[in-house]
A and B are shown apart, each in its own frame.
Chain A
Amino acid sequence: MFSGFMLNAWEVASIVAVVAGMVGFFVVLRGSAFVAHAIPNGSFGGAAGASLIGVNTLVGLGVFSLMGALGIGVLGRRGRHDVVTALALVMMLGLGALFLNLNVEYEPEIESLLFGEVLGISANQVLPTAALALVCVVSIALLYRPLMLSSVLAEVGEARGVSAFRMELCFLLVVALASTMTVPVVGTLLIFSLMIGSPAAARSFTDKPVVAMALSVAIALLTVWSAIAASYETNYPVGFFVGTISAGAYALGRIWAAWRRRALGRGQLADGRAPATPLPSSR
């Protein structure tokens, strides 16, 4: 399980989980689940285009992710955000349908881009993935304070000179970068589950942002590791396990939060004090 080609799978999946856990924290905090679905999914059209004109898939994915992110950011300033995201997604996929149609050789790759082929990762994919991941992690670290402020208290951020629009664009670009890097190795489905399920679960366990982000990375890592092990043992696809485990982690988080609320309520009855008010959760 830990030899040869499997080693690449473990390495790349761990890198992806770290990035997904960090970016996903902001995705959940900002309530941008739709964007996290639309950008990786739509960038698939770019892969089809790249294959048509014969350039590296990574270039196509990158161009489409960036275009999608900028389009959603700029159009979303005036229009309804969810509408703009939906239209950007279908436009990218519509172009993808056209590219696929013009290119007869591409077809078998569709499912691998959707569901990923973690177990088929080759050694020469490790380095580009790691490099892009590093850029992602550094940007998140640099953006952390202003992005946090702008996500939780947009008005205060504006007053302090942090433009909400500029932060939205930066955030979308980070999502685009994360998609470009992760889609070719794990597929659009897996990255989406990781970016939503793990941070959403983490937020049920703690109110402290830094702890939540660390926990989100930890849950994402646990999810991919157990998914790969399970897939190796059973031969069922990794995407199935990632999807199920992510949803399961979220359900556990919800149960824990409900149980803690009840415990706090009982505490009030026992010693007559008011229950500690939970920290105001963002958005």
Chain B
Amino acid sequence: MSAVLASLIARGFFSSEVVGVALLVGTVVAVVSGTVGVFTVLRGQSFAGEALGDVNTTGGSAAFLAGVAPLWGFVAVGVAAAGAMELVGIQRPRGRDLATGIVLGFFLGLAALLFYLVATLHNTTGAAQTVLFGSVFTVSSSTLPLVAALGALALGTVALLYRPLLLSSLSAEMAAARGLHVRALGVAYLLALAVAVALAALTIGSILSTALLVGPAATALRLTRRPATAIAAAGALGIGAMWLGIVLAYDSYDWTSGRTGWPVSFFVVSLIFLGYLLSGLPGLIARRARDA
């Protein structure tokens, strides 16, 4: 058994502190993203999730200019963008993507200005790369309490609002008929999404944050119709993809004979994409059988 493990997992994997932190952070982010993600998919707001992740480039460079920790920039700009999307009209299904797009365009324009200012004032470039392609291997263990606190905030909001939020996500009309405040629920959910995405982007980069938010949740919702089961499955799928991705990325240092290794984000995204494609197979086979 241990011989098999040793051949699959490169030497030093379990004794490395970097890997330990990466696994821990990856788990927290996968659970939070999976839970919030099920609602994102049900509400058809994947674009909002992706946009809030991209907006973090603005937050990151704003924080860099202001000289505060990137996290505060992420959260502040994320919440501001979520509020702007709400104002422009994300709550109407018809204008949803348009509202998201207008806000995203504006904030990315702002990011262009901030990057320029960072580059001219501080004479450094590379802020964009760090924010866009952040790596779970560069997370320091000192950010762990913050990661846990943000994760708890997003999860707590969703848990507190679970039933009304679920109803309003599945059928806004029915929720309104029962006297629920659909718009307030939408705002609360959007804020939870902003926090979850900020947390993910801070630790694993904005590409992976969208992948973990949408992929496992969409796969889970194809496998089960029960929301609670889907949330559990999304968390499990996310954790699986994250861990396997980290193992593969760690191993890849050996394949490339110790040069640079392949990025974690590539492995995790590929696994998530593959999982989504595979989860469509049962439905495809059933349709073929029915048509034949």
Mark A residues whose CB is within 8 Å of B: 28, 31-34, 36-38, 75, 78-80, 82-83, 85-87, 89-91, 93-95, 97-98, 100-102, 107-108, 110-111, 114-115, 189, 192-193, 196-197, 200, 236-244, 246-247, 250, 283
Chain A residues contacting B46 (CB-CB under 8 Å) are 34, 80, 82-83, 85-86
- Interface size for chain B: under 10, 10 to 19, 20 to 34, or 35 or more residues? 35 or more
Nearest CB in chain A to that of B267: its residue: A94
| Chain A residues with CB under 8 A of B268 | 94
From A80, A91, A94, A197, give the contact of B218 (CB < 8 A). Answer: A80
- Chain A min CB distance to B234 (Å): 12
Contact of B105 among A28, A93, A192 (CB under 8 A): A192
Q: 1/0 per position for B104-144, CB-CB distance to A under 8 A? A: 11111111110110000000011011001100000000000
A87 and B214 in contact, given A197-B102, A239-B112, A243-B108 (Cβ under 8 angstroms): yes
Q: How far is the CA of A250 from the CA of B104 in the complex (A)?
A: 13
Contact indicator A189/B108 (Cβ below 8 Å): yes
Q: Are B102 and A86 in contact (CB under 8 A)?
A: no
Query: How far does the alpha carbon of A98 sit from the alpha carbon of B261 in the complex, in Å?
Result: 10
CB atoms of A79 and B218 under 8 A apart = yes
Q: How far is the CB of A100 from chain B (nearest CB, A)?
A: 7
Contact A82 B102 (CB under 8 A): no
Interface of B, helix, strand, loop or mixed by DSSP: helix
Q: For residue A27, give the distance in angstroms from its CB to the closest CB of chain B.
A: 9
A89 to B269, CA, bound (A): 10
Q: State A82–B37 Cα separation when bound (angstroms).
A: 13
Minimum C-beta distance from A202 to chain B (A): 13
A244 to B108, CA, bound (A): 9
Residues of chain B in range 87-110 having any CB-CB distance to chain A below 8 Å: 94, 96-98, 100-110
Assess whether B269 is in contact with A31, with CB atoms less than 8 Å apart.
no
In angstroms, Cα B97 to Cα A33, docked, is: 6
Q: Select which of B100, B128, B133 is within 8 A of A33 by beta carbon.
A: B100
Taking a contact as CB atoms under 8 Å apart, the answer to whether A114 and B128 are in contact is: yes
The smallest C-beta distance from A51 to any residue of chain B, in angstroms, reads 15
Residues of B within 8 A of A91 (CB): 269-270, 273
Bound CA span A34–B74, Å: 22
Given known pairs A87-B215, A111-B128, the reply for A78 and B109 (CB within 8 Å) is no
